[in-house]
Amino acid sequence: DSPSEVTGSFTLRNLQADAPNWDNGKIQIDRVVASLQVLTHASRISIQQFAIDSSLGTLDFKGQLDRLATPPENNNVLTGWWPLQCQLSGNVDLAQVEQSMPGWLRLREDTQLTSGQLVGNLESQNSTDGTRWVGSLETSRLRALRGGRELAIDQPVRVSIQLATAAGRLRIEEM
């Protein structure tokens, strides 16, 4: 059984949308470029590449889903495709997010974010008793203006997490 391949890409420019629940009611993103390459077999889906590059940041995903030999008892479609092996990484320009999607970051009314990055990754590791997820988030160069004063967080803020799935349950192992 030979694999099937799906590939594609698209580019959006000057994306604008209504967002009535946000401060100015609009979302404006200058550029979004996405690409995808997927191979499918009878019992495996292999995402070779799923990438998004935009004026807000980047997102990269690679992964593989194997269909379980025995369907899950709870008929959950997602658990029927475990174990997932994947790598996800990305970075976000937080100041650009606040400019493009005002109110989304929920900053104080008198605060303007002038710079800052958020970088993250998540990776799954399969074992005989389930799947372990290891991930991290880190900020850098956070700068803002509040009431005319510059605020800065020079040291990175780091969060790491380890999750595990076993017997259909998710548990936090470390945070």
Q: Which of 16-25, 33-42, 98-107, 153-162 has the lowest mean pLDDT?
A: 16-25
Report, in angstroms and rounded to the nearest whole number, the Rg of the chain calculated over CA atoms: 20
Instruction: Supply 101's token pair.
Output: 């999607």
Instruction: Supply 108's token pair.
Output: 């104080």
Q: What percent of the chain has pLDDT over 90?
A: 46
Angstrom distance (rounded) from CA 86 to CA 63: 4
Q: DSSP string spanning 2-32?
A: PPEEEEEEEEEEEEEEE-TTSTTSEEEEEEE
Q: How many of the other CB atoms lie within 10 Å of CB of 48?
A: 14
**Residues 133 and 147: beta-carbon distance below 8 Å:** no
Angstrom distance (rounded) from CA 41 to CA 4: 7
- Per this entry, what is the length of the chain? 175
Tell me: pLDDT of 150 over 90: yes
What average pLDDT does range 11-38 have in this prediction?
A: 86
Show the DSSP H helices in 40-145 as ranges: 94-100
**Among candidate residues 111, 82, 75, 117, the one with its CA nearest the CA of residue 96:** 117
Mean pLDDT in the chain? 85
Angstrom distance (rounded) from CA 13 to CA 94: 20
**Residues 63 and 39: beta-carbon distance below 8 Å:** no
pLDDT top residue among 37 and 104: 37
Q: Report pLDDT for 1.
A: 66
DSSP code of residue 70: S
